[in-house]
Amino acid sequence: MSFSSAIRSRADLLAYLPLAVATTVADVLGRDRTHVSTKVALAPTLAAGVLATRSQRCPQRTGTLLAALVGSTVGDWYMYQSSRTTAEVSRSHMRKGAAAFAIQQVGLIGLLVHDGARPKPAPSTIAATMLAGLAVLDSDGGAPDPVLTGYGLLLGSMSALAMGDGGRARNGRAIALGGALFLVSDAAIIVGQGFAKTPGARAISSGVILSTYTAALALLVHGLRDEP
C-alpha cells in the first residue's frame, strides 16, 4: 500500500483525533454540551471510515464492525447520562450503557476469535485479576448486578484475547494496546467513582477515562478493520 493510499484509508482519524481531544478536554473542564456532542460523534466517525473502506474487506467483517460501533454510540450516550445523574438513576443509565457496550464487545470478540486470537495465560491472568479487584471495589454488599457482571466478563474476555494477539504480524501491537487501554479505561471509571471526591480528582479521573477509551476504540477498530 502506498503512502497516499494509507492516508486515504485512515482518513477518518483526521476527524476522530480532534474529537477525542475535544471530548476529553471538555469533560475535564466541565463543558457538558461540547463533551456530549463530541463524545457521541466518536464511534460514528470510525463507522464512516469503515463504510468508506468497505471494499477492502468482506461484508461480514464490515457488518460486525458497524454493529460494534452502534453499540459504542449508544453506550457512550448512556454513560454520559450516568455521569451526570446520581444514585439509582445513575446506576440505571450505567446498566443501559453496559448492555450497549456488550454488543460492542461481542463484535470485537467475534473478530478476534475469527482472526485466530486465543486465550493465553499471562493476558488472561492480568484481565481476571483486574476485574476481580474492580468487582470488590464496586461491591455494595448486595448481590452482583447481572448486567454489569456480564459486561465485565465480556470486557475481560475481549481484553485478554486482544492483549494475547500482540505477536500477530499485521496490526497485532495496535490490537494488544487497544485491549489493554480499554480495560484501563473501565477500571478508571470504577476507581474514580470510589475515590475521586474533589473537583481536581474528578478532572484527573475524567482525563484518564476518556483518553484511554478514545485511544482504545481507535486502535481496536483500525487494527481489526484489515483482513488478517
Q: What angle do CA 44, 24, 198 make, to 5 degrees?
A: 140
Cα distance between residue 149 and residue 146, in whole Å: 5
Closest CA to 156 of 186, 201, 177, 136: 186
Does pLDDT of 7 surpass 70? no
Please give the pLDDT value at position 1: 53
Q: Return d(Cα 199, Cα 207) in angstroms, integer.
A: 12
**pTM: predicted TM-score of the whole model, two decimal places:** 0.90
Tens-digit pLDDT profile for residues 60-81: 999 999 999 999 999 999 988 8
pLDDT at residue 146, rounded to an integer:
83
At 6 the pLDDT is 60
Is the model's pLDDT at 126 over the cut of 70? yes
Does position 2 have pLDDT exceeding 80, yes or no? no
8-25 tens-digit pLDDT: 678 899 999 999 999 999
